Amino acid sequence: MLTFTQRKPPNGDTQVTLTLALTAEERTRSRHRFEKDGQVVFLSLPRGTVLRHGDILQDETSGSLVRVIATSEPVLTVTAKTELDLLRAAYHLGNRHVPVEITPAYLRLSADPVLRAMLEKLGLEVKEEFSPFHPVPGAYGHYHTH
């Protein structure tokens, strides 16, 4: 059993014992139990920790390292004809407190038929995809930066 309690800065060269592929929601859990390759893995991180793709976690007793990666999951990717239309969509999603990944070219959110219908009604193009999801942390969230 491994219990990971400490986060290390991401480093692509770090030798790791395991890789944990987690959804966006799973990367927000500070306490969680996983089974990976026949091994029990516990996360016991400070409350409010949000893990990012590439983060390295260290086991409290053995010093073993695990790399966190963002796994693909069902998402909606939203594009618009104009930047203003994309900003309006971000506003409406924010008004509903929906976790959103924001880029200059698209918005991405967890698949939801009600939100899809709303966005299409606003004239946006919405595609169902299976992709890693990296929502922007909330304004009051405890997001670890490196």
Same fold: 2-70 with 72-132: no
Cα-to-chain-centroid distance, residue 56:
15
pLDDT tens, position by position, 38-59: 878 888 888 888 888 989 988 8
The pLDDT assigned to 1 comes to 64
* Average pLDDT of span 52-80: 91
Give pairs for 102-108: CB < 8 Å, separation 24+.
102/136, 105/79, 106/77, 106/78, 106/79, 107/77, 107/78, 108/75, 108/76, 108/77, 108/78, 108/133, 108/134, 108/135
CATH 2.60.260.20 fits 2-70, yes or no: yes
Q: So where are the chain's domains?
A: 2-70, 72-132
pLDDT at 85 over 60: yes
CATH of domain 72-132: 3.30.70.790
Closest CA to 26 of 138, 132, 142: 132
The tens digit of pLDDT for each residue in 103-146 reads: 999 999 999 999 999 999 999 999 999 999 999 876 555 444 43
